[in-house]
Structure 1
């Protein structure tokens, strides 16, 4: 048997390969485009939209969404792989037993004819982690499991963002449909009045045909809007794990609240982004793989043993004279592999450099996405104020122009032009506020789910 001192020395062997250190990427104190005055969100970020229906849809997605379930399965798979890697650190014990009748070749020294052979034994195999192969393998599996966990969180964040954007877009479509419906009713009424005036000779055919054009134009745009709303509804069905055929979201013309970022957004929040955290863990796994590659062309030491009973008859199988056992070290020396070990090390080092490039690229992309969302939120907020003032002025102009037409001061062309402008301004105001809401969801996603540490 191995002396205790030698066994202790072997178990304390060093781990070959580099020890992983997280890249030290310098980040600015805060983002250059931050500069808002609203308070930061608390709790689940989607509640900032103040939409109970949105909250329910997100709960459904967390439990029924197929994308979330698939990501969770991948995490469970990585966790099971970690268990396999951890098992390598312990001795493997197997049992075997057989009962057979056999006859050896007559051209050997064992030509006694047919005979029975019985055996039952326990077998031990334990790799001494001389070069840290087991530890490196466990470290790589652990990092991959953590990466899978972050990827799962990333899928959840992505699904939540997609649901929020689809739902907000649907609600703004509802508001625009309500606006066009009201406008369509007015245009239809104007069309009927112009037809009556034309029939009585009080108005020209040109005025009447213009009223027809404006009425039909609104109806066409309404049909297009309803089709777009239906697509948002179908998208929500898929994201929440339901069939689009039976899924419905009731119309609601009330607009959701629009979240706004706080006065300053610390850039170190980027490090909690699930995709960035997953890339960092994959980098750690790639670093551990270098040590695994190095250990593959170094000697492998194992402790093996076997103990049990063997006999030519069942009657004395478990007698003391039928005992058998072996115990001792087993050394495997990879003397010649045609450069396999060297190439494997180079492959692992290249994979690490690739993972490092992916991590740094994701970090730069995260900063870009955040800056884009911040500048969108700030500039769109300013644009929304201008659009609101413009829409009010256009509505006043349309009202006064219709009064002038009724008084016979102006022609119907000016009425049509003023009302068309007023409608366009109201729709533009809705569109700019929708863009603000979508920019808010993108900013929340860019910062990993909000702007609180």
Structure 2
């Protein structure tokens, strides 16, 4: 055959393989649409524009945007220190980072299929070949021999119909999903530290409140006991005063128990053993951070959990293409070159060279004919997984909307509730003062004093809990939005708490 014809056939074969490689059967991926409301239902109009309740912008993926240190808007040096420590030492975050490394390694392994695999080996073989393998008569004696081999081999799978590319696309999407999940773990850790910190300080407020209540009850018991000794009142009033003092002390111990558990939880978030961590008592101050009402949709798109759900869809879509490619021919190219010799001294002589490449052993073009429906079932499974991921993505978007709405309503309703609760505290304190005065004048029994003082304690505890709920709701809203934003209004004039102490 003329050399020109051989070159033409080689060129035609290469062009054919290139065309087949470009014919990927992977479906074109497009993120499905999700129902997006025109505005937040619970967003409150701003002072500058009563009609501005937060409109949505065109969707632009921004899950990898830098969110910054959003917790600094609280103006709390201790919280800043805790967040930095948690990001450096939390074990769950380190485990998530390790999962990202694993996913990236899987992607790198998948990309390796784009390149040929090369191997080299050296081995002696003691063999007695059959006469037929040597093209000799059946009764011919073939002596045993030692055959020395030193060869290099290569193997390569042609990317026909996008088989290799689809696998790489799936692995890449899995790695991106892992990275988004890492950011989700990171955001959850930051929010958990802030929430636990504010809850711990709320317990400190309760502890301080019970401490002052116990002091007041002790003073009241002394006063009642003196009046009893003077004969002004009966022993019943003394017993009631002692009961109230014991109840206040018991409740104080209960709050201390809750505070200890909260302190232990914070230590774990910081990557420390509870025995090595001590948080100084710091009553909670009102959180003055206000989230702006005009919240664009891009903030929701920055949520890492939504990004992870979207990447899961992309991976499932690529695996649909991988399942489809199983219906088409597969081309594996292999070859070997080296030396074979009956003696080690002659192994690397040029006359001992040998190679293997050809349709019998080197090149394998396989065409699937029948497998009992296995490929069809695999394709149906891949399509079902994609449909599942689409539904989960849309559900995750709906959950994100609900979480934002919940926290928006919490914040503006908590403002009203805190204001009303402040009035309730003032009224209960006035009622307790009047009851005490009337008791001193003999107009009411000591039971009236007890009821009014209980009302003061309950009102003050409720006010403390509302302040803690407001701080936690603020953190939850930031978390629901996927992190920080540029329009947060930090607290003005609030003194920072004492620095963190550890032993």
Q: TM-score, normalised by structure 1?
A: 0.94
- The 1-side partners of 2:39 and 2:295 are apart by 6
Task: In structure 2, list runs of 5 or more residues that go unmatched.
Answer: 1-5, 49-53, 55-66, 488-503
2:123 matched residue in structure 1: 98
Which shifted more, 199-208 or 177-186? 199-208
Task: Please report how far the alpha carbon of residue 254 of structure 1 lies from its aligned counterpart in structure 2 after TM superposition.
Answer: 4.3
Q: Which residue of 100, 110, 122 maps to 1:75?
A: 100
Contact 1:31 1:266 in 2 (8 A): no
- The 1-side partners of 2:380 and 2:141 are apart by 54
Q: How do residues 403-442 of structure 1 correspond to structure 2 at under 5 angstroms?
A: 403-442=437-476
Contact 1:187 1:211 in 2 (8 A): yes
Residues 71-103 of structure 1 deviation map (CA, whole Å, 9 limit, x = unaligned): 111111100000011000111111122123333
Structure 1 residues 195 and 348: alpha-carbon distance in aligned structure 2, compared to 1, 3 A threshold? same
- The 2-side partners of 1:235 and 1:359 are apart by 32
Task: Please report how far the alpha carbon of residue 285 of structure 1 lies from its aligned counterpart in structure 2 after TM superposition.
Answer: 0.3
Residue 117 of structure 1 aligns to a residue whose secondary structure is strand
Contact 1:36 1:261 in 2 (8 A): no
Aligned residues: 452
Residues 23-60 of structure 1 deviation map (CA, whole Å, 9 limit, x = unaligned): 122422431111165999x9422223333222222222
Residue 484 of structure 2 aligns to a residue whose secondary structure is coil
Is 2:260 the counterpart of 1:230?
A: yes
Contact 1:119 1:308 in 2 (8 A): yes
Q: Which residue of 69, 87, 94 maps to 1:62?
A: 87
Q: Which residue of 443, 449, 452 maps to 2:483?
A: 449
- The 1-side partners of 2:131 and 2:457 are apart by 105
Structure 1 residues 174 and 373: alpha-carbon distance in aligned structure 2, compared to 1, 3 A threshold? same
Which shifted more, 158-167 or 224-233? 158-167
Q: How do residues 277-356 of structure 1 correspond to structure 2 at under 5 angstroms?
A: 277-328=307-358, 329-356=363-390
- The 2-side partners of 1:254 and 1:25 are apart by 40
Contact 1:64 1:241 in 2 (8 A): yes
Task: Please report how far the alpha carbon of residue 106 of structure 1 lies from its aligned counterpart in structure 2 after TM superposition.
Answer: 8.2
Is 2:32 the counterpart of 1:7?
A: no
Is 2:274 the counterpart of 1:264?
A: no
Q: Which residue of 20, 27, 41 maps to 1:18?
A: 27
Residues 316-373 of structure 1 deviation map (CA, whole Å, 9 limit, x = unaligned): 2222211122335421122221111111111111111111111111111111111111
Q: How do residues 26-425 of structure 1 correspond to structure 2 at under 5 angstroms?
A: 26-35=35-44, 43-104=68-129, 111-255=141-285, 257-328=287-358, 329-425=363-459
Contact 1:171 1:254 in 2 (8 A): yes
Q: Give every structure 1 segment of 4 or more consecutive aligned residues whose post-TM-superposition deviation is greater than 6 Å.
A: none
- The 1-side partners of 2:46 and 2:219 are apart by 46
Task: Please report how far the alpha carbon of residue 411 of structure 1 lies from its aligned counterpart in structure 2 after TM superposition.
Answer: 3.9
Residues 409-436 of structure 1 deviation map (CA, whole Å, 9 limit, x = unaligned): 5443333222221221111111111111
Q: TM-score, normalised by structure 2?
A: 0.85
Which shifted more, 262-271 or 274-283? 262-271
Which shifted more, 22-31 or 364-373? 22-31
Residue 304 of structure 1 aligns to a residue whose secondary structure is strand
Q: CA RMSD in A?
A: 2.3
- The 2-side partners of 1:38 and 1:446 are apart by 24
- The 2-side partners of 1:49 and 1:209 are apart by 47
- The 2-side partners of 1:24 and 1:93 are apart by 45
Residue 208 of structure 1 aligns to a residue whose secondary structure is helix
